[in-house]
Amino acid sequence: MIEKTHIKTVLAIVLAMGMGGCAKEEAFPVLADFKATIANDDISVPVEVAIVNSSEGADNYRWSFEGGSPSSSQDKNPGTVTYDKPGTYTIRLTATNRDGSTDTKELTLVLITAVEIGFTTEILESNYSPVEVKLTNTTQGANTYHWAFEGGTPPSSDMQHPENVVFTEPGEHTITLEAGNGQDTYQEQKTITVAPYLEAAFDMEVAFEDDDHQVPVSVSLIDNSTSATGHHWTFENGTPATSTEENPVVVFNTPGTHTITLEATNGKETKTVSKTVTVYQDTNLRVFKDIKLGINTAHSSNHIGAFFSATAREVYNQDQVTTENGPLIDIVYFGLNGNFSFNRFVSPDEAESLTFEPIPGAAHTKVINLQESCGCSASLSVAEFDAMNDDSLLSGMAIEETNAGMQDFDDSVVPRIVLFQTRDGRKGAIKIKEFVSDGQDSYIIVDIKIQKQGS
């Protein structure tokens, strides 16, 4: 009984073992998974893609990197893949294990070209209104464009290469280009400057020696035009008759009113402006009124001078005399003091005889201080002086130097006429109108009439 029981037990174990050996094993599953990361999400080539494998249950890996470098790999973690060209690419991972399980995952990359924005402007002809501008788009990697032309015609464009733009309003105008690649938008600006509208304008400046407008009169023209590149002058009765200089000089030899016309151009338009100048018959007489000449103390104290130049039209004191203006001095006044008991006009080259410092380069002037005691043939009354409108009286005079003519005078006769003749033959007359007593700053007030050129 016991033995039979044992045999049954053994058979049961054997059967159990046999049944167990015949059972079918189940394969372990595989899950293929990975992440692809682009730095800063910038999909503009060149791009480096970092691959991180997160598959489960796999022993072997086959990577395919379409368009990438490397193009394939069997490493679990292939690291970084580089893409140099834009396009659409697939990253594929096939993961397997020893049980024969397989899984695949794909990821699609869309890569674009980086945008390098830029454009150039070219002003055609000139920047004077209207200004036509040619645009050249040098942008790389963009597929959308928007142009804005501030104050331009047209005002905007979405073309890659827009037509020429025209600006008419003077001032600065901004040209803006926005270019995109589907991911980012870039912007660049340039400024176009339109010159002010053309305006013709000029000033006239009569030569210093011709400011009495007596012929001949030399006139300098000063162009004040705006946005002008060319000039054409016309001078009625002038010499020359025309000029294309920017700032010409013209001489009028005929008395009357003459028209000066300027045509200014900038190559796109022309504007004209005219002015008149009136010149008079030559009297050969220069007139100075209310000239102050100081006594000796005033002259030497850097206040009212005693040296007069008709050429320079200046009164000089001792400190103002130089080697340049010394030869231009025509007459010298000496007043002893504020009592005006001793007064005399002397020749510049004899100034040092009356306490003055020598005048450098001084010329000689003949002087008649006292017509009443001179006994000279030359004489001029106050009435004749006042009525003198030309040099006819002066030109007929013979100015002589005599001892009596060089005598001093006081303030008992007012007005007084003093005659003189310069070394270059210019004859003149001084009318002493007033003796002004002011201590050391005392002075006389005179009118002077002198020939512009010697007779």
**pLDDT at 10 exceeding the cut of 70:** no
Phi, psi of 392, deg, nearest 5: -60, -40
Buried b (16+ CB within 10 A) or exposed e, 241-256: eebeebebebbbeebe
Query: Could you read off the pLDDT of 137-194 as tens digits, one per residue?
Result: 999 999 999 999 999 999 999 999 999 999 999 999 999 999 999 888 999 999 999 9
Average per-residue pLDDT for the chain: 92
State the pLDDT at residue 284: 97
CA distance 271 to 250: 21
User: Coil, strand, or helix at residue 353?
Assistant: helix
The residue with greater pLDDT, 315 or 5, is 315
Closest C-alpha among 33, 195, 46 to residue 114: 46
Mean pLDDT of all residues in 273-301: 96
Average pLDDT score over residue span 415-422: 97
The number of beta carbons lying within 10 Å of the beta carbon of residue 143 is: 12
Domain parsing of the chain, residue ranges: 34-113, 119-194, 202-279, 285-451
Asked if residue 331 lies in contact with residue 366, where contact means CB atoms within 8 angstroms, the answer is no
Question: What is the CATH code of the structural domain delimited by 119-194?
Answer: 2.60.40.10
List CB contacts of 200: < 8 A, sequence separation 6 or more. 225, 228, 262, 263, 264, 271, 272, 273
Rounded to whole angstroms, the Cα distance separating 193 from 172 reads 4
Residue 300: pLDDT band with limits 50, 70, 90: confident
CA angle 59, 65, 66 (to 5 degrees): 145
Q: Which range, 111-120, 297-306, 387-396, has the best average confidence (pLDDT)?
A: 387-396
For the domain made up of 34-113, the CATH class stated in words is mainly beta
Burial, 150: exposed, middle or buried (Cβ in 10 Å; 0-12, 13-18, 19+)? Answer: middle
* Structure confidence by residue, pLDDT tens digits, 216-271: 999 999 999 999 999 999 999 999 999 999 999 999 999 999 999 999 999 999 99
Instruction: Show the beta-strand stretches assigned E in 181-337.
Output: 185-194, 202-206, 217-223, 230-235, 238-239, 242-243, 249-252, 256-265, 270-279, 285-294, 307-309, 314-316, 331-335
Q: What is the pLDDT of residues 69-92, one digit of tens each?
A: 999 999 999 999 999 998 999 999
Q: How far is it, in rounded angstroms, from Cα 249 to Cα 239?
A: 9
The answer on pLDDT for 21 being more than 50 is no
Residue among 277, 362, 267 nearest 323 (CA)? 362
Low-confidence winner among 21-30, 205-214, 326-335, 441-450 (lowest mean pLDDT): 21-30
Q: Is the pTM of this model over 0.75?
A: no
Distance between terminal CA atoms of the chain? 183
pLDDT of residue 1: 37
Q: Which of 198, 203, 251 is nearest to 226 (CA)?
A: 198
Residues 11-20 have pLDDT tens digits of 333 333 344 4
Residue 36 CA to residue 81 CA, distance in Å, equals: 10
CB 186 within 8 A of CB 180: yes
Q: What's the pLDDT tens digit per position in 357-375?
A: 999 999 999 999 999 888 8
* pLDDT of 363: 97
Q: What pLDDT is stored for residue 404 in this prediction?
A: 58
Q: What are phi and psi of 387, to 5 degrees?
A: -85, -5
Whether the domain at 119-194 and the domain at 202-279 fall into the same CATH topology: yes
Contact call for residues 213 and 255 (beta carbons, < 8 A): no
Query: In the block, which residue shows the tokens 């504020």?
Result: 338
Structure tokens at 63: 């990577």
Cross-strand bridge partners of residue 207? none
**What fold is seen in the domain 202-279?**
Immunoglobulin-like (2.60.40)
Q: Is the pLDDT of residue 426 over 70?
A: yes
For residue 202, pLDDT over 70 is answered with yes
Q: Rounded to whole angstroms, what are the CA distances from 152 to 112, 138, 189?
A: 33, 21, 14
